[in-house]
Amino acid sequence: MLMTTDIKICGLKTEEAVDRAVALGATHIGFIFFAKSPRHIEPADAGRLADRVRGKVKIVSVSVDADNDDLDEIVDLIRPDILQLHGRETPDRVLGIKAVTGLPVWKALSIADADDLRRIEAYDGIANRFLLDAKPPGNSELPGGNGVSFDWRLLSGLDGSVDYMLSGGLNKNNIGEALRIARPTGIDTSSGVESSPGVKDLEMMDEFFEAVRLAQAASNVAA
């Protein structure tokens, strides 16, 4: 059976990076609305970038404990396909956002050990998909994009019905191992294709997609 994987490039800020992500075959692109992040972008700017590739790729807005006014602005200006919530949003908050916006919602969860995976249960049937990211280092103010990974072997005990994107420190050097161990339905990278925080490197993007392609080819041969 062929191995297919959704690929999301997150934290995009420039026309060149958006165009390259789509040209390379990204299925999703992410715009981050969190002022503390080096990948933060203003909604109006993100809307213009999204319009370049609308219909060619799924557009994901990434917010952290955003209030209703901020979400209204994001939805109005970007017209995203998906809302990704990367903060401490409760299941009730996720339900409320889905009801008001009418959009699918992905819930990001920070993972360090098996106990963290149990948080999935509270959102089961509520979140449309999960994004499993590494817990941030203690000195980081960012919930994601820290360039750190978690032990992917933890995911071997996850119920096969859980649809998730794997995130956290994924780059050209470790993506093959991540795909082999976790076999996620999707992968997400941001800092793994950057030359410095918030600056996407087009060559690194090329190399990441090539590493994914090689890993998928090896998996398909093995199957």
pLDDT one-digit tens code per residue, 5-44: 899 999 999 999 999 999 999 999 999 999 999 999 999 9
Contact 117, 158 (CB under 8 A): yes
Task: Look at residues 4, 44, 8 and name the one whose alpha carbon lies nearest to residue 145.
Answer: 8
Residue type, 10: C
Q: Say how far apart CA 118 and CA 68 lie, in whole Å.
A: 28
Crossing angle of helices 15-24 and 43-53, in 10° steps, is 40
Tell which wins on pLDDT, 2 or 135.
135
Given a contact cutoff of 8 angstroms between Cβ atoms, the answer to whether 9 and 190 are in contact is yes
Tell me what the mean pLDDT of segment 100-107 comes to.
Answer: 97
**Cα-Cα-Cα-Cα dihedral sign, residues 223, 159, 31, 143:** negative
Q: What is the pLDDT of residues 185-210, one digit of tens each?
A: 999 999 999 999 999 999 999 999 99
The Cα–Cα gap between 145 and 135 comes to 10
**Confidence grade of residue 4 (pLDDT, cut at 50, 70, 90):** low
Express each pLDDT in 166-183 by its tens digit.
Answer: 999 999 999 999 999 999
Placement of tokens 């030359």 in the chain: 195
| Residues in Cβ contact with 183 at an 8 Å cutoff, skipping those fewer than 6 apart | 3
Confidence of residue 48 (pLDDT cuts 50, 70, 90): very high
Can you give the pTM of this predicted structure? 0.91
pLDDT tier for residue 223 given thresholds of 50, 70 and 90: very low
Question: Quick check: 71 and 83 in contact, CB under 8 A?
Answer: yes
Q: What is the predicted pLDDT for the residue at 138?
A: 52
Residue 2 confidence class, pLDDT cut points 50, 70, 90:
very low
pLDDT at 1: 29
| Band (217; pLDDT cuts 50, 70, 90) | confident
Calculate the alpha carbon distances from 77 to 70, 80, 119, 167 in Å. 11, 9, 32, 26
Phi, psi of 41, rounded to the nearest 5 degrees = -135, 145
For residue 106, list its beta bridge partners.
84, 129
Instruction: List, for residues 118-154, the tens digit of each pLDDT value.
Output: 999 999 999 999 999 988 755 545 554 555 688 999 9
- Comparing 160 with 154, which gets the higher pLDDT? 154
